[in-house]
Amino acid sequence: MEPKKRFFTCDDAKDLDIVNFLSNLGFEPTKIRNQDCWYWSPLRLENTPSFKVNRKLNRWYDHGIGKGGNLIDFGILYHDCTVKDFLEKLGSATLSSATIKPFIPEVNNNYFPLIILNETNLKSARLLDYLNLRHVPLSVAQEFCQEVTYQVGVKTYNAIGFKNDSG
């Protein structure tokens, strides 16, 4: 008895996790930095891994050929086929027998919000030197900007800031 075929729509295919799909094809990342997984390109030979998958967006980009996109875009290049053919391959026993997981955006547990601790008139010598270096007149900076002390995680920083339209 022939295994039952699964029929994928374009939306179904776009919802599949690209990293998991590449793993099922035998490709593993050479490095992972933040939300980016870097690979040797599955689409061509290269000397340096330049194929990137962004886990947050579930999108790939091959820097060597200047192309990227979703899983369908990758599949039609990798298999050298049409969208229809790729969706059929995706539903075939060969590909669907491997566990193809849906894409679920990762929650960044290391997210630290920016917290504004204090706003004062510009006074820091370092920040005033920076304004001078950038040829920003002190009178203009004092009219529109303030010195902002803010915290990200456990670190505290000082910067030049100005309020946006929403305050």
Q: Identify whether the C-beta of residue 159 lies closer than 8 Å to the C-beta of residue 127.
A: yes
Residue 52 has what pLDDT?
Answer: 96
Task: For residue 158, list its beta bridge partners.
Answer: 149
Residue 98 has what pLDDT?
Answer: 45
Indicate the pLDDT class of residue 4, thresholds 50, 70 and 90.
low
pLDDT: is 34 or 74 the higher one? 74
Check whether 47 has a pLDDT greater than 50: yes
- What average pLDDT does this structure show over 88-108? 57
Distance (Å, rounded) from C-alpha 33 to C-alpha 28? 14
Return the DSSP state at 56. T
Distance (Å, rounded) from C-alpha 16 to C-alpha 58? 8
Number of H helices, E strands in the chain: 7, 8
Residue with tokens 């995680």: 153
Check whether 80 has a pLDDT greater than 80: yes
Check whether 81 has a pLDDT greater than 50: yes
pLDDT: is 98 or 155 the higher one? 155
Q: Which of 2-6, 43-47, 93-97 has the lowest mean pLDDT?
A: 93-97
Residue 83 has what pLDDT?
Answer: 93
**Residue type at position 50:** S
Q: Is the dihedral of CA 127, 133, 138, 143 positive or negative?
A: negative
Return the DSSP state at 55. T
Question: What does the mean pLDDT of the chain come to?
Answer: 83
Distance (Å, rounded) from C-alpha 97 to C-alpha 132? 64
Residue 5 has what pLDDT?
Answer: 63
Indicate the pLDDT class of residue 59, thresholds 50, 70 and 90.
very high
Strand order in the sheet with 36-39: 31-33, 36-39, 51-54, 59-62, 67-69
- What average pLDDT does this structure show over 118-144? 91
Residue 167 has what pLDDT?
Answer: 66
